[in-house]
Amino acid sequence: MNEPAASSPPGAARSHPLMSIGEVLGQLRVEFPDVTISKLRFLEAEGLVEPQRTAAGYRKYSWDDVARLRFVLTAQRDQYLPLRVIRDQLAEWDAGGETPGRQRPTLVAVGPGGEVPGRAVEEPESSQVRLGRVDLVARSGIDESTLGELERLGVLVSDPPGWYDADALIIARAVAGLAAYGLEPRHLRGYRSAADREVGLFAQLVAPLARQSDPAARARAAETARELVALSQQLHAALVRVGLRSTLGR
């Protein structure tokens, strides 16, 4: 059951240091319309924010708490960072006695150690992106024939038919980058097979949570999937680097 918001008018919240979870939700939904109370409770359970509690057990958030939540939600939405990486970044702020503030986080850290998986920092792609075939070709750098070949091989799919999401754009851009080094779509069939094997493995781990009616459990399933994908990317990158060492003479 949702906790009741404070009865004071909206403007009074700024003069008072603490807010109810309902008031915080109202603040965040301006920028993050999909955020829910269950999500806020989940982030608390993960140790990313620690609101105060009243004697009756109600959560009370400060503006610093709201800034932390905005920081976390932005990092997840725009950078696809796993919670453990976000937690480390917040720990650095805490150690320095600072707060994230209202600015957007700079959390892209794809270093030589592969410690933070992520995508290129050009422009954040919304998970709600819908591109037509012509737009996908124009924005990714591949041509129409390559797109057709990728679809034939199952490397790239449209969903719903005729429309492509943000992940399809990421795949197409990656293929365009690899093509610059001479790799053709037929060389990428193994990527699709390997991904399908991982999907089957990870689905066994998240399905029990995803099937529950509890919104908190479904949120946990989504976060678990995000963490698994991030760890998989790190593992893959490290294995490839190790495999190339002899070729590079290192």
H/E segment holding residue 233: helix 215-248
Q: What are the residue boundaries of the structural domains of the chain, listed by start?
A: 12-95, 133-248
What three-state secondary structure class fits 60?
strand
Query: Of 115, 121, 130, 144, whose CA–CA distance to 241 is shortest?
Result: 115
Assigned token pair, 234: 């790190």
Token pair for 212: 């529950």
Examine the pLDDT at 246 and tell me if it is beyond 60: yes
pTM for the model: 0.53
Q: What is the pLDDT of residue 119?
A: 35
Domains 12-95 and 133-248 share a fold: yes
**207 vs 2, residue with greater confidence:** 207
Query: Quick check: bond before 160 cis, omega within 30?
Result: yes
Fold of 133-248: Multidrug-efflux Transporter Regulator; Chain: A; Domain 2 (1.10.1660)
User: Where does residue 73 rank: exposed (0-12), middle (13-18), buried (19+ CB within 10 A)?
Assistant: buried
Cβ pair 93, 64 in contact under 8 A: no
Which band of pLDDT confidence, cut at 50, 70 and 90, is reported for residue 143? Answer: very high
DSSP code per residue over 87-141: HHHHHHHHHTT----SSPP------TT--S----SSSPPPTT--B-HHHHHHHH-
Instruction: Check whether 245 has a pLDDT greater than 50.
Output: yes
Number of H helices, E strands in the chain: 10, 2
Q: What would be the CATH architecture of the domain defined by 12-95? A: Orthogonal Bundle (1.10)
Give 193-228 pLDDT, tens digit per residue: 999 999 999 999 889 888 888 777 777 788 788 788
